[in-house]
Chains A and B, each alone.
Chain A
Amino acid sequence: MRFQKLTFLTLILVLSSQLSAQYYFGQNKIQYTRFDWQVLTTEHFEIYFYPEEKEIVDIAAYLAEEDFHELEACFNHHISKKIPLIIYSSPSYFEQTNVIPNLLPENVAGFTEFFKGRVVVPFNGSYDDFAHVIRHELVHVFTLDKISYVTKAHRKLRPAAMPLWFSEGLAEYYSCKWDSEADMILTDMALTARLVNLDNIHRISGTYAMYKVGQSICIFLAERYGPEKISFLLDNWWKGDSFAEIVGITYGKSLKQLLEEWEYAQKKRYFPLLGGTDLPDKNSSQLTFDGFNVEPVSYERSTSLGSKEWVVFKANKLGYSGIYLMPAGGEKQKLEMVIRGESSAAFESLHLLSSGIDVSTEGILVFASKVREKDKFYFFDLKRNQMVQKVGFDSLVSLSSPSWSPQGDRIVFCGADKRGRRDLFIYDLKSGELSRLTNDFYLDADPTFSPLKEEIVFVSDRGDWGARGHANLFSYSLEAGEISPLVVGPETCSSPRFSPSGQFLVYASDRQGVNDIYLLDLRDPAALRGMKLTSVATGAFDPCFSLSESQVVFSSFSAGRFQIYKRAIELDSLELLPHSPVESYADWQPPVLSGEKRKGTVKYENRFSLDLAQSIIGYDAAFGPVGGLQVALTDMLGDHQYYFLLSNTADTKKNFFSSFNLAVTYLNKGRRLNWGVGAYHFFDEFYNDIQGTYAHRQYGGAGLLSFPLSRYERLDNSLYLRRLEKEFYFLEETLGGMVTTDYLSFVKDNSLWDPTGPIDGMRLNLTVGYGYDLSKGRPYNRLLLVDFRKYFRLSKYSCLANRMMYITSGGIDPQRFYLGGSWSFRGYKRRSFYGRNLVLINNELRYPLINNLLIGFPFGNVGFQAIRGTLFFDCGNAWDETFEQLYGSFGFGARVNIGAFTVLRFDFAKTTNFRSVSPGLNFEFFFGWNY
């Protein structure tokens, strides 16, 4: 199933600070590849590319320039400055971009960063997808620029925020046609009574459904009120304080009214579908019931009880993707996980929605997974339950959809090379030889071996219809080395599979407007017969035959999820469809930008510009708490970053100049080993329970290194050389010297998060530090920190979360730590315990409390989702010299995510010294993620 689940994100560049070295936990974005960047200048763009992308950069330039002119007219707006467009030839390379610091989920197909207006898109092998994503992102550029112009021109200081569903819906509206996938989403929503309205549209925020609902609403508004009104809406942006108000001004009706009209229009459109089609569970047997389940493959499993038919499939049931096994009767009978993905470097991504799997007659499962920089194929013996082989190819960046030959000695698959071309390859397991079958611009995917002859059927966008965005079926003769059209027309086909006997072929197609399963009867090659197997209201994908060929197993979309179904094949009762044989197909070439419109290409040079200015608060192992105004300068690709921090802690005029806190840091993130250097001066006054109030001044330099071992593990090293001066007011003594300190950390993080914090996986930070006073020639201090957190998943929304932390510091000037409060030791006030040694154990049961809470106010409704409950038991202590005893606390609480990065915390706890329990219940309200 090639579900084009494209999730585009308009991301604000969050200045999330420096290297991973500054992060306590976190996963790693790794720059495996060095690119030789060039810049192509066109009339309206600066296009950043590397030489391997030579084939697609002129295509991108053409598409961008065409889009620019069309979008100018849509928005009635001209953008004068050149738009930076950064392209990558593969999603794997795209994930390495430093334009934004965030890790990019696999289903992100492009983004626009609004501070510098950078558009970053990958090429996934499909020209149609490429055209779509470039245009989608340019809509964001125009939207942001237009609103900025209109609001600045009218001196509107705080423009209204645009809801994400409208922003993405608008981008989809202007960049793609309404297609079968979009229809699938809305059909499902309408027929399963899940259409959104103004009160609950936030529930689909960030999902693919949000894009399609937004697009549907824009289409409705354009059809009902005129397409020009959408442009007028942006012209009117300065006239209102909220999106709803601006809509009211433009359309003369309230937003609520318009959405109600839209909702009614969807019901009118989709309800009648049930007259001729059904939801998948109404005429097929449902095999899975939870999560996203796709790509089923039948195979025969021998057990002590005999041979039975089982189904292998891919799924995401609890947040991590995986490969599962279930009997042909469904997962309610039994469900086994074969491979767990996304939690280790070996299976960083199983490409849930973009790559099929296959099982040979010998029971060897083959699947693709991302392993560090590139994809590899894994061969897993289902009988012996062990991995037998792993193979990757230097010339290929990504691999997908392997299919076994009938003999089980070869696999045919789709591979993408560094140029971005996606072609067919055959790998011979015995000889280890890799053969390339196709080598052209067209996207060739989903190959399947014929059991009867040396032939492969595959999906491709070659041919006339491919030029119009469709993907048809073709066959490749291994003997002749020739390609012939098999099923061509104005339809998008996917996932062809032969029956075990080779007499039939099933595939998915939207030829009648909805994705359904079709069967091609190959018994008479001179007169192929086509039949329609399913008539599903939403969409059916990934068909495969049962071993007996009497049933088809497939995935289908229902209630917002993909589930697996099976259905009997009754040939005699199937509707015959016209199948006209096609002898040949015409080549097509995408248009490219040429001539005077190409202004020239130069080598990329670092040009720094302001990235963001903000005030920040953070904590550093060496510096302690830091805060102030932070300004960042970065180059266009984000590989080189300068940070400037400035604040002042003076409390009198006299020490104003001596109380400046300054820091300058340079970070280089262009390679796998990230490094940085900095210089700083910090001064402030502090207080602790042991030494009282003291002034602390330090100035010097720092060197930073961060080496990611994988997405989940890294080594960090920070080296400081600084002058330290501590003046203890009450002790009337000073401490200081020229101190060098080195911190070495090992960090591992494969945690999975829900709205309030981690819910699965683990996190570990192991740090050792050693300081030496160079001026006096003596050890200064030392540090050992172990922070281990493990989350034992109990169900979809619940887990048992454990944290074990031990810190010890020693030396002349040891570090000391506070314990207490909602973030560490609940039930106790924030600075209840203090010392240079600390032990803390947290145990917490996290469970769902309230899924949706809607509170009505006079000004409107306020909704909260995913309110989580906790039951906890903590114990620990902090001490300086002598450990006396452990203290404990227990209680319950609630967590509410109120949007973006803010989680409210409510805790009720009793404390104990393990001899008695406090009489009262301590309440604390605070904010912050769960540990």
Chain B
Amino acid sequence: MTLEREWMRGAAPLAVLTLLERREMYGYELVEALERDTDGLLAMGQSTVYPLLYNLEGKGHVEAVRRTAPSGRERKYYRITEDGHAWLARQRSQWQTLVEAMTILGIADAEPKG
């Protein structure tokens, strides 16, 4: 199952920032992680990942540095900024609120699927 565009629009920046919170990553790494760590649920068209990164970069939520990847090739690594941390925290609490409301309404399960 894939998410509808409107949900993706809200969820994608959160997912990307959450992943970058763990460690800095370059584009392909991030794309792979998104697919792998979300069971493919957030396997958004990769074409949308790069514009999203540029967008987050423009807003100051992430910053990019060039360095050598383990493969020996130079890659553009993205890492989350202070601004990004703060914004992510706000978003998280909003999602939490939303999920609680949805659970009360019976739209979301109380226990996440295992």
Chain A bound to chain B: no
Binding site for A on B (CB under 8 A): none
Binding site for B on A (CB under 8 A): none
